[in-house]
Amino acid sequence: MAPADKKNIVIFASGSGSNAQRLMECFEHHPHIRVAALFANNPKAYALKRAETFHVPAFLFSRDEFYNTNEVLEQVQSFRPDLIVLAGFLWLVPQNFLQAFPDRIINIHPALLPQYGGKGMHGLNVHTAVVSAGDQESGITIHRVNEEYDKGEFILQERCPVHPGDTPEDLATRVLQLEHKYLPEVVEKLLTLKDNPINPS
């Protein structure tokens, strides 16, 4: 199948980008899906370097461009995304994106929402809160994105144990393994299942 016939993923990332890397690895030679571009809001995001390694076009944008103009939206639209994946992206998605891509933006969160979500609940903050609460399990939530942090419809949750004596870093490692396993699977399903509303035949 020629690349033009592939489904396009656009990734948004703010930090390390290990989930972005998983997506780029999994779809590098995929017959029907490709990572078309990566957008980052942080010049120090290692995700930008990872994109370069995979020869995926990468773009840096500012808060002003994202919230006060259509520049980022238009640049994203030029890649004709079938799915936008927020993979460690820390800003709220503005209305112009939600309207342009209804139900086509998903996020991965490193906890079992609706617990441990919302503004400021990212990275080690999440795992510190889970460990401090004495919870016996945590996990991941992959969900659709709406105008509130971590509030859209759930697509998938997977669980893992929290062991006695776990540090937040221990738990982060276990949860990240779940993310790396399930994010590519969910993306592939969303983009290939025939009865999916984002995937008209």
Q: Is the Cβ–Cβ distance between 32 and 11 less than 8 Å? A: no
Of 7, 17, 51, 187, the residue at the interface with ligand GRF (CB under 6 A) is: 17
Task: Given the residues 29, 32, 109, 163, select the one marked as catalytic.
Answer: 109
Q: How far is the CB of 199 from ligand GRF (least distance, A)?
A: 24
Contacts of 90 (CB under 8 A, 6+ apart): 14, 15, 41, 122
Q: Is the Cβ–Cβ distance between 88 and 15 less than 8 Å? A: yes
Of 87, 93, 105, 145, the residue at the interface with ligand GRF (CB under 6 A) is: 87
Q: What angle do CA 158, 171, 185 make, to 5 degrees?
A: 30
Part in contact with ligand GRF (CB under 6 A); list of ranges 52-60, 62-70, 107-115, 191-199: 107-115
- According to the binding rule CB under 6 A, does residue 179 interact with ligand GRF? yes
Token pair, residue 201, equals 């035949």
Q: Determine the Cα–Cα distance for residues 51 and 79; give it in Å rounded to an integer.
A: 15
Q: Is position 109 annotated as part of the catalytic site?
A: yes
Part in contact with ligand GRF (CB under 6 A); list of ranges 25-33, 54-62, 106-114, 156-164: 106-114
Residue closer to ligand GRF by CB (options 77, 91) is 91
User: Residue 183, exposed/middle/buried by CB under 10 A (0-12, 13-18, 19+)?
Assistant: buried
Q: How far is the CB of 153 from ligand GRF (least distance, A)?
A: 17
Q: Determine the Cα–Cα distance for residues 111 and 94; give it in Å rounded to an integer.
A: 23
The residues in 119-178 that bind ligand GRF, with binding defined as CB under 6 A, are 122-123, 176
Q: Annotated catalytic sites, by residue?
A: 109
Summarize as ranges the residues that interact with ligand GRF (CB under 6 A).
13, 15-20, 87-88, 108-110, 122-123, 176, 179
